[in-house]
Amino acid sequence: MPGKLFEKGSPVRFVAIFLALFLVFYYFNIVFFGITSPGNNYNAFLAEHLNYIRAFRHLLLNITMHILNAIGYTAITSDYDLLLVGHGTLRLDYSCLGLGVMSFFLAFIIAYPRRLKSKIIFAIAGILAIQTLNILRFVLLALFWNKHAGNIIDHHAIFNGSIYVIIAITLYLWVKSDDKKPSDLAKN
């Protein structure tokens, strides 16, 4: 009986793989961020040569800057900040990068029994969509957010809640599209 719980296509197997992958992805990013940030367990080699988190932050900041510059504003970036002239500074912390959301999304896709081609296409499209929405958030925050105005709205909570609802709907539609193609499971 226990062997049947973990057979290919079993819901228990899916949940176990999903949770394991999510935890690995999520905590790997946290640990990597910790060892590439100056402090107790700092690793200079990783920080200088393999720091994908810094590179990803740099990419997001620069795309946001180029969008703002293209629509007529003057923006510049540093390692963590985007300065929009006349509006203030937007700091892009680790929590703003969307790595947790992407960990959830990728873990689900990898764990779900579908053909590899379908998983790859959906993963790439989903990650691009998540980060496009994230960049849109940065543009809107740079233009309209005033951190000194005593706002009671937490833009992180709003973005994360919104993005998880969008992901849930998208994953539901992706899973339901599988019902129309039962041969996909046999090819997995």
Tokens for 153?
A: 């709205």
* Alpha carbon 179 to chain centroid, angstroms: 27
Question: How far separated are the first and last CA of the chain, in Å rounded?
Answer: 23
What pLDDT is attached to residue 159?
86
Contact 170, 162 (CB under 8 A): no
Q: How far apart are CA 110 and CA 12, in angstroms?
A: 15
Tokens for 125?
A: 């499209």
- What lies within 8 Å, CB to CB, of 89 at 6+ separation is 81, 82, 83
What pLDDT is attached to residue 188?
47
What pLDDT is attached to residue 180?
59
* Alpha carbon 153 to chain centroid, angstroms: 21
Instruction: Please tell me the number of Cα atoms within 13 Å of 58 on its side-chain side.
Output: 6
User: Average pLDDT per run of 10 along the chain, which is 188 residues long?
Assistant: 69 95 98 92 95 97 98 96 93 93 97 94 97 94 75 75 94 84 49
What pLDDT is attached to residue 185?
47
